[in-house]
A = this chain, B = another copy of it.
Amino acid sequence: MMKTLRELAEHVSGKVIGDEDLQISGVAGIEEANGGEITFLSNPRYGKKVGETKASALIASQKVDGFNGSVLLTQNPYLAYAKIVGLFHKRVLPSPGIDANAVIGKGAKIGKNCSISPFVFIGEDAEIGERVVIYPFVFIGSGVKIGDDTRIYANCSIREGCTVGNRVIIHAGAVIGSDGFGFAKDGKAYYKIPQVGTVQIDEDVEIGANCTIDRAALGTTWIKRGVKIDNLVHIAHNVVVGEDTVLVAQVGISGSTRIGNNVTLAGQVGIIGHLTIGDNAMVGAKSGVAADVGAGKVVSGIPAYDHRDWLKTSMCLPNISDMRRQLRRLMQEVEALKAKAESESKRTGRP
């Protein structure tokens, strides 16, 4: 498939500097692109590589020194790149239809133009919207509701009573609605707290492979509109995650914590239970949050504190043992000075 640079620019409401009729055969990374392809520059790390790319055209927010091809100007090159990739690559989805090898429970409703693969289990009274795609080995519990245009990859489990909104993508192996982790001490042993709540996933959420989102003890574990969750993330019972929040891989959020809107939790962050993380807050990778985080704050560390302080501390950490040695020498020197001053005092009789 070929597109002219003009067509691409129109698709993203951008502007061409150079040859509008240039035929573009595809999109590729700045290092991988060949002649005839378009690439993009959004991460400044790659700026110096522009001179070496073989791409014939470049998506950028301004003219770039060292690049001789045509440029597709746009305010948000990364967004434009995303849209142009979508032009060249249409994902092929399974054809609509309910495979004879799927098991559909009594009372379950399936909307128009769904693709229900072989080896799918849909429980009683579940409701599946329109154009939903469900891959093999997906378990949908009884009473689950799935919105329109949602896609559920292979080997996912969505347990009884949970709801999933429109245009949600759930990657392979994710588990939604597993029991929350709650036990009451009964002597030395533990007594299981029944986990009788559910999980509610709102529209436009994406959930990574092998994530686990536990059902509430009572009430609802709630993932709001537009939340993007990377792989192997754990979300405990009764957590609320606000709109457009991003949870990077291997994050863990303990029970009843509330995460605001537009928050970013970087990779491997852990947050203890019953906390509130304000809107637009950011938590640095591998941090452990042990106290509420105010709106707009940036924190890092275990336990987490102000990110700028953390950066300063980080620069000192390799030298702590030097500091201790210096401190010890200083203590000796000060002792010597004190002794000298004292003997001088004794000699002179002046304090």
**A236 proximity list for chain B (CB < 8 A):** 230, 249
- Is the pair A179, B190 in contact by a Cβ cutoff of 8 Å? no
CB < 8 Å neighbour of A262 from B142, B188, B204, B330? B188
Who on chain B is nearest to A204 by CB? Answer: B189
Given the known interface contacts A190-B228, A228-B183, the answer about A272 and B285 at a Cβ–Cβ threshold of 8 Å is yes
Nearest CB of chain B from residue A258's CB, rounded to whole Å: 11
- Kindly state the separation between the CA atoms of A219 and B26 in the bound complex, as whole angstroms: 12
**A218 proximity list for chain B (CB < 8 A):** 27-29, 32, 85
The interface-forming segment of A1-9, A65-73, A107-115, A131-139 is A131-139
Q: Does A302 contact B (CB under 8 A)?
A: yes
- Is the pair A173, B171 in contact by a Cβ cutoff of 8 Å? no
- Kindly state the separation between the CA atoms of A43 and B238 in the bound complex, as whole angstroms: 15
Q: Does A185 contact B (CB under 8 A)?
A: yes
- Kindly state the separation between the CA atoms of A82 and B191 in the bound complex, as whole angstroms: 8
- Chain A contact-residue range equals 35 or more
A110-138 interface bits toward B, Cβ cutoff 8 Å, 1 = contact, 0 = none: 00000001110100000000000001110
Given the known interface contacts A118-B103, A185-B76, A262-B188, the answer about A324 and B319 at a Cβ–Cβ threshold of 8 Å is yes
**A62 proximity list for chain B (CB < 8 A):** none
Copies of this chain: 3
CB < 8 Å neighbour of A32 from B32, B219, B232? B219
Q: Does A165 contact B (CB under 8 A)?
A: no
- Is the pair A302, B305 in contact by a Cβ cutoff of 8 Å? no
CB < 8 Å neighbour of A181 from B185, B230, B303, B316? B230
**A285 proximity list for chain B (CB < 8 A):** 270, 272, 288, 290
Nearest CB of chain B from residue A149's CB, rounded to whole Å: 13
Q: Which of A35-72 contact B (CB under 8 A)?
A: 43, 45
- Is the pair B79, A191 in contact by a Cβ cutoff of 8 Å? yes
**A171 proximity list for chain B (CB < 8 A):** 175, 178-179
Q: Which of A101, A272, A321 counts the most chain B CB atoms within 10 A?
A: A321
- Is the pair A190, B244 in contact by a Cβ cutoff of 8 Å? yes
Q: Does A150 contact B (CB under 8 A)?
A: no
- Kindly state the separation between the CA atoms of A288 and B175 in the bound complex, as whole angstroms: 27
Given the known interface contacts A249-B234, A305-B317, A330-B331, the answer about A159 and B155 at a Cβ–Cβ threshold of 8 Å is no
- Kindly state the separation between the CA atoms of A341 and B317 in the bound complex, as whole angstroms: 34
Nearest CB of chain B from residue A308's CB, rounded to whole Å: 10
- Is the pair A314, B324 in contact by a Cβ cutoff of 8 Å? no
- Is the pair A250, B248 in contact by a Cβ cutoff of 8 Å? no
**A92 proximity list for chain B (CB < 8 A):** 142, 160
Q: Does A349 contact B (CB under 8 A)?
A: no
- Is the pair A157, B173 in contact by a Cβ cutoff of 8 Å? yes
- Is the pair B244, A188 in contact by a Cβ cutoff of 8 Å? yes
- Kindly state the separation between the CA atoms of A134 and B204 in the bound complex, as whole angstroms: 32
- Is the pair B86, A231 in contact by a Cβ cutoff of 8 Å? no
- Extra contacts besides A82-B193, A333-B338 (15): CB < 8 Å: A29-B219, A76-B186, A119-B121, A121-B137, A139-B155, A154-B157, A175-B210, A208-B212, A209-B214, A210-B212, A270-B286, A285-B290, A309-B319, A323-B323, A330-B331
What are the 8 A-B residue pairs with the smallest beta carbon separation, nearest first? A139-B154, A312-B321, A157-B172, A178-B209, A79-B184, A89-B196, A175-B209, A212-B231
Between A and B, 30 residue pairs with Cβ closer than 8 Å are: A43-B274, A76-B185, A76-B186, A78-B185, A79-B186, A85-B193, A86-B194, A89-B194, A89-B196, A92-B160, A118-B121, A119-B119, A119-B121, A121-B137, A137-B155, A153-B178, A157-B209, A171-B175, A172-B175, A190-B228, A231-B234, A234-B250, A302-B302, A305-B317, A306-B318, A316-B321, A316-B324, A330-B330, A330-B334, A340-B341
